[in-house]
Structure 1
Amino acid sequence: MLNKDRAGLYIHVPFCSSKCNYCDFNSYTGKIDHADNYFKSLKKEIELYKAELRHYIINTIFIGGGTPSVVNEQYILEILEKCRTEYNISENCEISIESNPGTLSNEKLKAYKNAGINRISIGLQAYQDKLLKYLGRCHSHKDFTESVKNAKSAGFENINGDIIFGIPGQSLGDWKETLDYLVSLGINHISAYSLKIEEETKFGRMEEQGSLVPVEDELDREMYHYAVDYLNENGLKQYEISNFAKEGYECKHNLIYWKCVDYLGLGAGAHSCLKNTRFSNQISIEGYIDYLNRGEKPLYEKNPLEFTDKMSEYMFLGLRLTAGVSGKEFYELFNRNMFTMYKDIFARLENKSLIKITGDTVKLTRLGLDLANQVFLEFV
């Protein structure tokens, strides 16, 4: 495995002040009173993986959710300190935290910075307050402006803004305004996602009842292409299907997933991949706490990855990156010739103009980026 001595660490904080209408993440409202027991359980889980992680150097930590910034900052500080006590954390470790506008006081941001957190992701989703209300967000764009300003004042340079396109009722003009706004704030990283309507969400139920009509594919793609061109022109280069960054500000933690490097997920519902085994945790907060109170790892599912699975994953995850996949790297990992193994698949995809082969590298074309799922299915 690539960089087998290095790994990433994901820490899940499942608490939210409200549930967004599109969200199907493992997050809960009205359960903040479980926070104390939850973070005590997280510390126990960190201890239980000390043996597995002793051969790894952790060079990225990502604290996600949920909304990690809704809990008292002391919980976050204690978890990071516990990780440093039990694991080998690299000196230049990228440590990210997700947050929502309105939850980031100056005191909290300074505490994060002092604890070594050096990257912060703030969820905007849309510039227009009417769209934020429709999405079920509990902030305005002014709250986002204030959060970015406060983060910069606290010393954060590495700031990400999350945005969504393809929202019902969102015009191309609205989308352009959102992009203009983020660029004007001087943010170094932008994640731009097409709205996906999931079954077990408020939007999913609305679609089923006929009160929500998804945006037409043509408009969705027009928004996407505009974002790719506009952000590239403004110094935020596309390095992955949905991610754009100024040079040197690419998210190192997400690159771990796309490059098939090992990672451990801690917390309720967190997923892991270590030593060719994929596993996940108990989903509910209560179930997660119960397992750890008994001194057991809170495992929910565990599946070994076959050699062929690892090769497939390398292909369909690596092709998400605009840099594409490398034949040399593939051979170093698997002792196989990528171009021999996938000769027929590459020929089919090339004939459909979905991939471009240049020397040792295979990349998605612009059409391939639009039809990425069709490409990925070829390797599953």
Structure 2
Amino acid sequence: MKAAYLHIPFCDHICYYCDFNKYLIKNQPVDDYLKAMDKEIRTMMTSHNRLDLQTLFVGGGTPTALTPDQLSFFLKIVKQALWHEGIQEYTFEANPENMTEEKLSRMYEEGVNRLSIGVQTFNSTGLKEIGRLHSVEEVYRGLELARHIGFENVSIDLMFGLPGQTESDLDRSIDEALKLQPDHLSIYALQVEPKTIFYNRMRKGELHLPGPDREADMYDQLIERLEEKGYLQYEISNFAKPGYESKHNLLYWQNEMYFGFGAGAHGYVDDERVVNAGAVKGYIRRVEETGSAVISTHPVPLVEQIEEELFLGLRTRFGVSKERFKEKFHREIETVYGEVISRLKEKQLLIEEGDRLILSQEGLFISNEVLSYFLQPTIIDKSKED
């Protein structure tokens, strides 16, 4: 076991694009929820060794929407049940509007060593159009405060392909982000998902997006700008100064096992995908009754494990190690994907660097298409999966 994800599903406001498991915090049983998380974590850890954990990641929702006292209670839960001196990275998602000195100080004192700040854009009008509460000034103030307190690993989230966004708008956002000298940047293309405000607007013809060609130009633009400034693109949507790649996310992309705690959280434990109840009250009730909130499980067969190894690994600049593949699955990767690998290398979408298979720059631009080649490795002898 390598990682643990902890989900705080509460928000002060629902962003128009967000399809994560989230609830407006007003009138929610937040204290009961945190107590349930405490019980869920302790129950799970009775059969697992926390010393196996390398990273912790607290996401949402908006974890910093908790009050200072609720935050302290949650941090104490993590400290007692999961924390140990070998934790390499302990990340907290934060929104600029509630990054107070009190909250940041408590997080820092309890071992949080990385912040992931949801900025999305530095265009004030654009922030309102996507439903964000914070101002640009609050971004500057929050990051300055975090640095003053002692955080040495800070990531900023940005988005592109937003309604009305132009290449020059994106360029200005990148300029402003770089002035703050973050250690890491996650930059995602807007995806309009069902059950979001944007989805309803799109169905009514009220959502005006840049379109796929301009979005591709934006992606090319941001890669060039960030690499000029020393940020290495180590995954399709992630850029970092050397040594500041997200260790937690790399464990996901390396297809390692991880716990998922909280309402709607997903985990990958002992070769089995598990999903928790998503509704807050349903989550609390299940944990109170059984100590677990799991509502579905899916044992991952060898075929899926191999697919995921390629799907996830090829998202990163480190690619897929042929030797690690052999150690993990007891077969050469060429015996499974030899024809596919040859075809993609001929098309210059896949390159081989020593032991590793890596997407070329052109391959990254059409990654979804390239990765589809690795579906259904049918030449595996399924009778030997067990």
State whether residues 12 and 26 of structure 2, in contact with CA within 8 Å, keep that contact through their aligned partners in structure 1: no
* Counterpart selection for 2:252 from 253, 257, 267: 257
| TM-superposed deviation, 1:349 | 2.1
Q: Using the TM superposition, give the Cα deviation of residue 139 of structure 1 relative to its aligned residue in structure 2, in angstroms.
A: 1.1
Q: Does 2:161 match 1:156?
A: no
Q: Tell me whether 1:342 sits opposite 2:361 in the alignment.
A: no
CA offset digits 1:16-47 (Å, max 9, x no partner): 01111100000111445311110010001011
Runs of 4+ in 1 over 6 A off after TM superposition: none
Indicate yes or no: 2:312 matched with 1:321: no
Partners in 2 of 1:78 and 1:57 — Cα distance?
A: 24
CA distance in 2, matches of 1:176, 1:210: 27
Q: Which residue of 2 aligns with 1:297?
A: 292
Letter in 1 for 2:311: F
Q: Which of residues 216, 224, 229 is equivalent to 1:229?
A: 224
The residue aligned with 2:380 is none
Determine whether 1:355 maps to 2:342.
no
Select which of 73, 80, 83 maps to 1:85: 80
Conserved? CA contact 2:123–2:169, under 8 Å: yes
Q: Is 1:112 paired with 2:107?
A: yes
Query: Aligned partners of 1:275 and 1:244: how far apart in 2?
Result: 31
> 1:130 matched to which residue of 2?
125
**What code does the residue aligned with 1:301 have?**
S
Judged with a 3 Å threshold, the aligned counterparts in structure 2 of structure 1 residues 351 and 259 are, in CA distance, closer, same or farther, namely: same
Structure 2 gaps, min length 5: 376-386
- 1:318 shift after superposition: 0.2
Q: Structure 2 counterpart of 1:119, which letter?
A: R
Within 2, Cα distance between the matches of 1:158 and 1:55? Answer: 23
Alignment of 1:193-208 (within 5 A): 193-208=188-203
Q: Does 1:44 align with 2:39?
A: yes
Shift of 1:74: 3.4
In 1, distance between residues paired with 2:27 and 2:44?
26
* Structure 1 position 369 matched with structure 2 position 364: yes
1:180 to 2:179 alignment: no
Instruction: Give 3-state SS (helix, strand or coil) of 2:96's partner.
Output: coil
Which residue in 1 is equivalent to 2:67?
A: 72
Partner residue of 2:233 out of 232, 238, 244: 238
Q: 2:134 corresponds to which residue?
A: 139
1:16 counterpart (1, 11, 18): 11
Q: Is the 8 A contact 1:57 1:90 kept in 2?
A: no
1:89-147 deviation digits (Å, cap 9, x = unpaired): 34343110001111011111111100100001111101110100000101111111111
Contact 2:313–2:320, Cα closer than 8 Å, also in 1: yes
CA contact (8 A) 2:163 2:209 kept: yes
Q: Quick one: distance in 2 between partners of 1:228 and 1:62?
A: 26
Partner deviation per Cα, 1:162-213 (whole Å, 9 max, x = no partner)? 0000112011001000011111111110000001111211111111111113
User: What root-mean-square deviation, in Å, do the aligned CA atoms of Structure 1 and Structure 2 show?
Assistant: 1.5
For 1:248 and 1:77, locate their aligned partners in 2 and report how far apart those are by CA, in whole Å. Answer: 30
- Structure 1 residue 293 displacement after superposition: 1.9
- How far residue 79 of structure 1 moved from its aligned partner, in angstroms, is 3.2
TM, length-normalised to structure 1: 0.95
AA in 2 matched with 1:366: Q
Deviations 1:234-285 (A, max 9, x none): 1111111000011111111101100111100000000000110000100110
Distance 2:354 2:151 in 1: 39
Question: Whole-Å Cα distance in 1 between the matches of residues 80 and 315 of structure 2?
Answer: 35
Q: Which residue of 2 aligns with 1:3?
A: none
CA–CA separation in structure 1 for the residues paired with 2:18 and 2:298: 26
CA contact (8 A) 1:7 1:56 kept: no
- Judge which range, 305-314 or 75-84, deviates more: 75-84
Segment of structure 1 superposing worse, 53-62 or 232-241 = 53-62
Is the 8 Å Cα contact of residues 155 and 183 (structure 2) preserved in structure 1?
yes
| Distance in 2 of aligned mates of 1:309 and 1:56 | 28
Q: Report percent identity of matched pairs.
A: 35
Indicate how the Cα distance of structure 1 residues 360 and 30 shifts in structure 2: closer, same or farther if over 3 A, else same: closer
| Offset, 1:82 | 2.8
Give the match's secondary structure for 2:290.
Answer: coil
Distance 1:336 1:56 in 2: 30
Q: Aligned pair in 2 of structure 1 residues 90, 8: CA closer, same or farther (>3 Å)?
A: farther
> Aligned letter for 2:14?
K
Seen in structure 2, the aligned counterparts of structure 1 residues 340 and 179 have a Cα distance that, compared at 3 Å, is same
8 Å contact kept, 1:240–1:321: yes
Letter in 1 for 2:265: A
User: Which residue of the other structure, out of 97, 106, 124, is the alignment partner of 2:92?
Assistant: 97
